[in-house]
């Protein structure tokens, strides 16, 4: 088919949002745009993947209901051989991370991950991604083998709307039984805190330094009428339960006000809070990536600012 092939991502029988975002991103890349749906029963998912801007949906009947590593590795290789796309798009997601780099390495393909913008120059793809903890950006060329595989950062492109009329096809592939097999899902433990419903989140990150400081910011949050939330390092350290974690592996939040203390702004954190109404960030590092999404920022000692907020009536 040449053109751009989107590998659909799905979970528990539903297409994931990132797939719709990939279809939007594909509109600026070589056409036609195909979407591959890899599943034991791709039919219903293929229907969901019939989005505006999709020219062809390729159903690949393989594997089980849920993602399995070797199934996706084998199926993607077969898709590349059978459809000869110029560009392959997957999400920079946990599933994508499981197989896309393996295929790129095995076949020696051009590859870039966590891509947040693309352009075409003389038919060649230029990708933008960040380096050095998101503090600098870079344009990368993909001089390796064809096709190129781009793993795109979620929540950057708007999701494609339901459309219709894409051609349907099937590709039959031989896949080995996956050496990594899905057994079950385990839900997060229920919590009495729901940070996704708060209007005002006061969020703290690594910058608070010590576990003892959690209590101080919890009291400040209570005083200001905010709910306390945290970034991943605080949960990793065991200082707060994951129910309060904002970010890709935690909760996606959209409060009216998001007030961040000592959060540098890892990509995965920003993905979980950049939709907030007003973002205020206090950080001692003027280069902190969180200032890139904040509406208000202060380069300041967070304890001094907290101290002054505590004094206010």
Partner 1 sequence: MKAVVCVKQVTVLGDEVGFTDDERDVDPDYLEKALNEWDVFAVEEALRITEASGGDASAAGAGKESEVVVVTVGDEEADEALRRCLAMGADRAVRVAADGIDDDPLTVARWLAPVVAREDPGLVLCGVQSSDAVQAATGVMLAGLLGLACVAVVTEVSYNQAARRATVHRELEGGLIDVVEVQTPAVLTIQTGINEPRYATLRAIKQAKLKEIEVAEPDSPAPGAYRVRRMFAPEKGAGAEMLSGGAATVAARIAEIVQARLS
Q: What part of residues 223-262 is at the interface with partner 1 (CB under 8 A)?
A: 224-225, 232-233, 235-238, 242, 245, 248-252, 256-257, 259
H-run or E-run covering 73 = helix 69-83
User: Of residues 185, 190, 197, 212, which one binds partner 1 by CB under 8 A?
Assistant: 185
Residues numbered 140 to 159 that lie near partner 1 (CB under 8 A) are 140-145, 154
Shortest distance in whole angstroms from residue 107 CB to partner 1: 8
Secondary structure element (H or E) that encloses residue 225, with its range: none
40 binds partner 1 (CB under 8 A): no
**Rounded distance between C-alpha atoms, residue 305 and residue 297, angstroms:** 12
CA distance 276 to 258: 6
Mark residues 193-212: x for contact with partner 1 by CB under 8 A, - for none.
------xx------------
Part of the chain binding partner 1 (CB under 8 A), chosen from 25-33, 35-43, 44-52, 132-140:
132-140
20 binds partner 1 (CB under 8 A): no
Q: How far from each other are the two terminal CA atoms of the chain, in whole angstroms?
A: 66
Q: Which residues contact 311 (CB under 8 A, 6 or more apart)?
A: none
Binding flag, residue 278, partner 1 (CB under 8 A): yes
Task: In angstroms, give the least distance from the CB of 21 to partner 1.
Answer: 13
Of 34-42, 97-105, 161-169, 207-215, which part binds partner 1 (CB under 8 A)?
Answer: 97-105
Kindly tell me which residue out of 109, 195, 221, 270 binds partner 1, with binding defined by CB under 8 A. Answer: 109
Number of residues counted as binding partner 1 (CB under 8 A): 101
Query: Nearest approach, Cβ of 212 to partner 1 (angstroms)?
Result: 18
d(CA 269, CA 303): 22
CB 137 within 8 A of CB 104: no
For the purposes of burial, counting CB atoms within 10 Å of the CB of 209, is it exposed (0-12), middle (13-18) or buried (19 or more)? exposed
Q: Are strands 56-61 and 33-39 parallel, antiparallel or unpaired?
A: parallel
Nearer to partner 1, 76 or 166 (CB): 76
- Cα 133 to its chain centre, rounded Å, is 16
């Amino acid at each position: 088919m040449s053109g751009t092939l989107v590998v659909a991502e799905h979970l528990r029988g539903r297409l994931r949002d990132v797939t719709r975002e990939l279809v939007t991103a594909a509109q600026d890349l070589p056409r036609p745009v195909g979407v591959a749906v890899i599943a034991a029963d791709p039919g219903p998912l293929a229907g969901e993947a019939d989005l505006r801007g999709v020219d062809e949906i390729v159903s690949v009947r393989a594997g089980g209901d849920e993602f399995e590593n070797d199934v996706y590795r084998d199926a993607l290789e077969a898709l590349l051989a059978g459809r000869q796309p110029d560009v392959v798009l997957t999400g920079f997601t946990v599933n994508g991370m499981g197989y896309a780099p393996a295929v790129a390495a095995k076949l020696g393909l051009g590859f870039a991950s966590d891509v947040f913008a693309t352009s075409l120059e003389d038919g060649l793809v230029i990708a933008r991604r960040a380096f050095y903890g998101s503090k600098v950006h870079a344009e990368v060329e993909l001089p390796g083998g064809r096709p190129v595989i781009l793993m795109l950062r979620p929540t950057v492109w708007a999701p494609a709307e339901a459309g219709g009329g894409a051609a349907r096809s099937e590709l039959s592939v031989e896949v080995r039984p996956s050496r990594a097999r899905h057994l079950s899902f385990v839900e997060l433990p229920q919590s009495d805190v729901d940070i996704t419903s708060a209007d005002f989140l006061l969020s703290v990150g690594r910058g608070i330094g010590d576990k003892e400081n959690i209590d101080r910011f919890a009291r400040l949050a209570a005083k200001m009428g905010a709910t306390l939330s945290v970034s991943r390092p605080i949960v990793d350290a065991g200082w707060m339960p994951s129910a309060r974690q904002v970010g890709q592996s935690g909760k996606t939040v959209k409060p009216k006000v998001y007030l961040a203390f000592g959060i540098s702004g890892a990509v995965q954190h920003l993905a979980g809070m950049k939709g907030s109404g007003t973002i205020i960030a206090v950080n001692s590092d003027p280069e902190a990536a969180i200032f890139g999404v904040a509406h208000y920022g202060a380069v300041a000692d967070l304890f001094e600012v907290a101290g002054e907020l505590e004094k206010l009536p």
